Structure 1
C-alpha cells in the first residue's frame, strides 16, 4: 500500500472511530533529531496528518537527558504539549501519579492493545491501576555492535563474529590508524555500552541479579569486576573518538574512520540514510555475538491533559494512529527498531532487523534498565560510569565499589 492509500485508510478509520470533528494542530515533542530519526518521525507525521489533523513537530536537540527536563517542566508548569515521547519504563510515573496525563484506555480497549503488543512487559509500563496512559511504539535494544566491513578488509581480517575476535583485531586496527571503538562524549552512551558488556560478557542472570534483584553483593563481586575491566579496555580504545553526539560516532564507523560502535539499534537508521546495506557494507552483532539477546526497551508517547476538548479528541486519534499496522511498519523500518505489534508484515526487513526478530521470536529477551530501575537510581549509576569512562585514573575496582553502593540502596 502506498502512502496516499495508507493516508486515506487511516483518515477514514480514525475519524469514524473517534470522530475528529475538525482539523486540530497537536504539538508533539521528542528528541529524535539525527538523519535516521528525522526520517522515522516523518512517517508518524504523515500518518497523523492523513487523519485531517496536523502534527506540529517539537523536536528538542541534545538527546533524552536534555529533552526530558524541558518536557517535564512544561507539563508541570501549565504549558503542556499535545503528546510527548518518553522511554518506555518509569520516566513518566510521577507525572501520571500527579494526574497530569490523559487516560487513553478508551482507545486501548477498542483496539485490543493488550492482545497485539508483544512482549507484554512493554504495555505494562503504560498501565496504572487498570488505566492506559501511554502508547509504546517500538522495541529498541541496546544489545548491538555495528562494524564497517571495509575496515576489516583493509587490515586483511575477516569481519569479527563476536567480541573476542574483535578484541584480537584491535592491535591491527590501531596500527592502521583506525579508531577501534567509537563512543561519543555524552554520559548515556558510555553507560549504555557498559550495560551491553554486562549482558554479553557477564550473562543475563548476572544482569538480572544486579538490575532486577538489586543484589549489591553480586554488583560488588568478581564477575562484575570482569565487566569493569572490559570497560576499562574499551575506554582506552575509544579515547580518540573526540565527538559528542552518538550519530557523530556512528558516522565515524560509516566513513571507516572507526571500526565499530556499541550502540542501540537506532544506529541502523544512520546507516540507512547513508545508503549502506546490512550484511554487505556493515555487520551487526546482537549481544556482541556472545549472548544473543534483545532488551525490550523503546519509546512510548504520553498525552498531557488539555483544556481544549478538540485537542483531547486529537490525542486519541494520534494514539490510535501510532499503533496502526502500516504506521508501525513505515516508522520502524526507518528507525531501525522492531515494531511492538506481533502481527505486521516485515517482508522488507533487512539483515539486522531479521536477526532481531528471530531473537524476539525465540523469547531471548530481558527488560530495559529504565523498566527496572528508577530514574534517580539510573542517573546515579550513569554518573559513576561517566566519571570512570572519562577519568582514566579511576580504577575498575574503585568504580565498582561506588556502583555497588548505589545498587545497595536502589529503588
Structure 2
C-alpha cells in the first residue's frame, strides 16, 4: 500500500463529531453595526457556531431603511442569504406572499413558541394564513427618554422626571453650552420621536385611534394638535445636533454633550459599552415619564427559501438557537432589549430593563407602528417628519393636515 492510499485508509477510520461533519456556512444579513449591536450579534454567532455550523456575518452599514432594500433585492433577484433581519410587522409580508420565505411552523411547534413567546402579538406578526414565517428575537420599544445625569448637574438643574421637566430645563442646558435634545438625521429617528410623543402626550386612545384604527378625524383633531405643538418644541430643542446616525446622537448623551435623547431601548447597549451604569451615570424614562404604556416591536429573522438541503437544515438550527433561553438572555442583555421568552432568567437585568419588563408584565404593551402600518404608510409618515424636523418653514398646523391625509389613506 503506498503512502497516499494508507493516508486515505487512516482518514476513513476517523470519526468526526456530528456537528463538525455537517458544518454549514450560513450567511446572515442584518443592520446591527453600532458597538452595542455588534456585541449582541456576537452572542448569536457564538451560539450558532457552537452547533457546529458557521455564522457568516452579512452586516449592512446604516439603518434598516438602508439595509432592507438591499436585502429584498437580493431575495427577489435570486441571490438569497441564509437568514435576514426585519422588524416585527409587515416589512416582509410581500416576500412571504410571493413564496420566497420558508414556513417555520414545524420548528415553532417543536419549540412551543406559542406557549413561551410573550406577548403573543410578536408571534402573530410572524403568522400569515395560520403559518409562522419568522423567529421573533427581542422586544424593543421606542418610548424612552435617555438623560445624561452629568449634563444636568453641569447645567445646575435636577435630572428631569418627565418630558415636561425636560422641556423646561432646555434653556438652562443651552446656557451651559449643552445640546438639549440629541437627534440624528435619519428619517426613522424623527419618525420614532414623533410616534413616541403621540403615545406619551396623546395617550393610549389617541395612539390606537390614529395608528390602529386609521381614524383621520382623530389625526386632524385637537389632541393631535397638542402633539404637533410638542413636536415643534422638540424640533427647537434638537436644533444644532449635527449628527446623522442614532448611536452618534446617543454618544452625545453618554459624553454629557447633550441632555437627552428620545430613542428606543437599544440605546442601552451603547451606554453599557461605554461602561455607564443605569440610575447613576444616566437615567431612563419609559413613556417619557408620563405614559405607563410602551409600544412593543422589535426584530425578527426570516429564512429565505434555499435550493440547498444542508443549508435549509442549518436554517432550522439557527431559528431554534435564536429562541434558546440562554441565547435569549445573552443576546438581549447586550442589545438592551427584552427577551421574547417569558420563561428566562432575568436576574442580571439593569434598572432600565426592569422598568420595561414591569410595563410588559402589567399588560401595558401596545402594537408598534411597524405592526399597525404598511411599509409604504410608514415611509410617507417618516418623509413628513424628516421635512418637519429639518425646517421650521413647515408649521405644526400644516404638518398635521398632511399627517391626517396620510392616515386617511393608510393601510
Q: Same fold (TM over 0.5)?
A: yes
| Deviations, residues 146-205 of structure 1 (Å, cap 9, x unaligned) | 001111111222211111111111111111110000000011101100000111111011
| 1:290-301 matched pairs, under 5 angstroms | 290-301=290-301
| Deviations, residues 238-289 of structure 1 (Å, cap 9, x unaligned) | 1110010000000000001000000000001000000000000000000000
Indicate if the aligned counterparts of 1:20 and 1:314 stay in contact, CA closer than 8 A: no
Partner of 1:170: 170
The residue matched to 2:147 in structure 1 has which SS?
strand
- Matched residues in 1 for 2:288 and 2:71: separation? 34
Indicate if the aligned counterparts of 2:29 and 2:57 stay in contact, CA closer than 8 A: yes
Indicate if the aligned counterparts of 2:126 and 2:135 stay in contact, CA closer than 8 A: yes
Indicate if the aligned counterparts of 1:20 and 1:313 stay in contact, CA closer than 8 A: no
Partner of 1:181: 181
Question: Which stretches in structure 2 are left out of the alignment for 5+ residues?
Answer: 1-16
The residue matched to 2:305 in structure 1 has which SS?
coil
- Matched residues in 2 for 1:203 and 1:20: separation? 54
- Matched residues in 2 for 1:157 and 1:304: separation? 52
The alpha-carbon deviation at position 294 of structure 1 amounts to 2.0
Partner of 2:202: 202
- Matched residues in 1 for 2:52 and 2:200: separation? 46
Structure with max Cα Rg? 2
The residue matched to 1:296 in structure 2 has which SS?
strand
C-alpha distance 47-216 of structure 1, shift in aligned 2 (>3 A)? same
Partner of 2:284: 284
- Matched residues in 2 for 1:291 and 1:21: separation? 53
| Deviations, residues 58-80 of structure 1 (Å, cap 9, x unaligned) | 00011000000000000000000
Partner of 1:385: 385
Partner of 2:236: 236
Indicate if the aligned counterparts of 2:146 and 2:261 stay in contact, CA closer than 8 A: yes
- Matched residues in 1 for 2:261 and 2:399: separation? 23
Partner of 1:79: 79
Partner of 2:245: 245
Q: After the TM superposition, which segments of 4 or more aligned residues of structure 1 sit over 3 Å from their partners?
A: none
- Matched residues in 1 for 2:121 and 2:68: separation? 22
Question: Which stretches in structure 1 are left out of the alignment for 5+ residues?
Answer: 1-14
- Matched residues in 2 for 1:249 and 1:406: separation? 28
The alpha-carbon deviation at position 20 of structure 1 amounts to 9.1
Partner of 2:88: 88
Are 1:270 and 2:270 an aligned pair? yes
CA RMSD between the two structures = 1.2
- Matched residues in 2 for 1:142 and 1:240: separation? 22
- Matched residues in 2 for 1:62 and 1:287: separation? 27
Partner of 1:22: 22
The alpha-carbon deviation at position 380 of structure 1 amounts to 0.7
The alpha-carbon deviation at position 225 of structure 1 amounts to 1.0
- Matched residues in 2 for 1:105 and 1:220: separation? 42
The alpha-carbon deviation at position 349 of structure 1 amounts to 0.2
Indicate if the aligned counterparts of 2:157 and 2:172 stay in contact, CA closer than 8 A: no
- Matched residues in 2 for 1:204 and 1:157: separation? 31
The alignment of Structure 1 onto Structure 2 pairs a total of residues equal to 395
Indicate if the aligned counterparts of 2:198 and 2:227 stay in contact, CA closer than 8 A: yes
